[in-house]
Amino acid sequence: MLAEPRLLKLNFGIMCLHILLMSTFVALPGQLADAGFPAAEHWKVYLATMLIAFGSVVPFIIYAEVKRKMKQVFVFCVGLIVVAEIVLWNAQTQFWQLVVGVQLFFVAFNLMEALLPSLISKESPAGYKGTAMGVYSTSQFLGVAIGGSLGAGLTACLTVRAYFSLAQCWPQCGWQSPVP
């Protein structure tokens, strides 16, 4: 399981995705507050964003599965995350620009969250699907832990703009060979 190159790429991808998720959302609340949006109201942005993102990913999932365009949709998601990070970097204290950045991020994130388990299942050898999903889940949780720590460390050392500049680098690595 751990030596299978295709599964390693997917597990590394989900770990990096969760590192980016957590580190971005360590930096984001301060940016929303700087835009004049009170912390007690942030849940409204996140709720609306998640509802829209969940609804908008269904057509992409259907397209990816039916047309067998998994890699193309995956690469699109990587590009969308780069765009989202650029929008968040550029937003500074512009509330609606922050909302657009968050929305783009979550559309791509939720779509990748839906596609990656399917890819793990397809790539894992017969009889090892449970083990493959266990390694996948562990990779997710490692990403959450690393991302929270990394995000806190980076936002303590860097400006939010510098953080988002750095955050744009990870997704670009995914263009090299995102899906086996």
Q: How far apart are CA 31 and CA 18, in angstroms?
A: 20
Mean pLDDT over 20-44 rounds to 92
Residue-level pLDDT at 67: 93
Mean pLDDT over 72-76 rounds to 89
Q: How confident is the model at residue 6 (pLDDT cuts 50, 70, 90)?
A: confident
Mean pLDDT over 36-51 rounds to 95
Mean pLDDT over 109-126 rounds to 89
Q: How far apart are CA 151 and CA 149, in angstroms?
A: 5
Domains of the chain: 5-32+41-173 (1.20.1250.20)
Residue-level pLDDT at 178: 47
The string of DSSP letters for 54-102 reads HHHHHHHHHHHHHTT-HHHHHHHHHHHHHHHHHHHHHHTT-HHHHHHHH
Share of the chain above pLDDT 90, in %: 47
